[in-house]
Amino acid sequence: MKERDKKEKKDVKDVEKMKQQDTELSAEEQAVQEPAEEAKEETPEQKQIRELTEQLEQARKQSEEYLDRLRRSMAEFDNFRKRTEKEKEQEKTKGVLEVISTVLPLLDNFERALASIPEEEKQNATAKGVEMMYQQFLGALKAIGVEEIPAEGEPFDPNKHNAVTHIEDEKMDENIVCEVFQKGYSYKGQVVRYSMVKVAN
């Protein structure tokens, strides 16, 4: 019986000892947790730094957005400028081509007038005056980029020549321009008027 009492007392002491150890451990854990919880709470300085960092990030994103918009606007403006310049150049070329088309019949008339002057009269003042005006007119057209399209003796090119008639001629190679009825002209590589020609087959 005494041994049993002793054992029970010992068990009670062990239980109390364990409870005390648990209490101590809980107190230590609580002591450890409290600083951690305190660490979680922001100081005014930390809060201010966090807010400023957020504001800075927001300002950075906004500035990137503005920069992107600016770049797009600049690209759009550059495209608009290039398109406008191209349209202006096209309109200018169109206007020049219309003027050239209008004056080419005058050039044809000069050539016809010179061709109709008899050989014995080519040295008189009138004939020389017509020749001089013709050369001046031709020079002015060349100065702005108008050129005669080579035709006679050249291979027929449908991009430059308009075949009015064909002939069989064994002396000439096939598909060669053998006669020009009306001269053709180009402006900076663009055909203004096709040469009207006779082509050998």
What tens digit of pLDDT does each residue of 149-201 get?
999 989 999 999 999 998 887 777 788 898 999 999 999 889 999 999 999 87
What is the band of 19 on the pLDDT scale with cuts at 50, 70, 90? low
Domain spans in the chain, listed from the N-terminal domain onward = 68-144, 147-201
Can you read off the two tokens belonging to residue 81? 């400028």
* Length of the chain counted residue by residue: 201
Mean pLDDT over 70-81 rounds to: 94
Q: Which two tokens stand for residue 62?
A: 């906004």
Lowest-confidence segment of 32-46, 87-101, 115-129, 149-163 by average pLDDT:
32-46
Asked if 154 contacts 198 with a C-beta cutoff of 8 angstroms, the reply is no
HSE of 11, CA atoms in CB hemisphere, 13 A: 6
**What is the per-residue pLDDT for 41?**
81
Contact 99, 83 (CB under 8 A): no
- Residue 116 in tokens: 């109709």
> What pLDDT band is residue 29 in, cutting at 50, 70 and 90?
low
Nearest-angstrom CA–CA distance, 177 and 164: 11
CA distances from 161 to 5, 92, 172 (A): 134, 25, 18
Strand order in the sheet with 185-187: 146-148, 185-187, 190-193
The dihedral through the CA atoms of 108, 109, 112, 117 has a sign that is negative
Topology at the third CATH level for domain 147-201: Nucleotide Exchange Factor Grpe; Chain A, domain 2 (2.30.22)
> Which pLDDT does position 168 carry in this prediction?
84
Per-residue pLDDT averaged across 105-118, rounded?
91
d(CA 155, CA 157): 6
Token pair of 196 as six digits:
């009207």
For residue 1, what are its two tokens?
């019986």
Query: What's the confidence (pLDDT) of residue 35?
Result: 47
Whole-model pTM: value is 0.59
DSSP string, 20-58: HHHHHHHHHHHHHHHHHHHHHSPPHHHHHHHHHHHHHHH
pLDDT value at 76 more than 90: yes
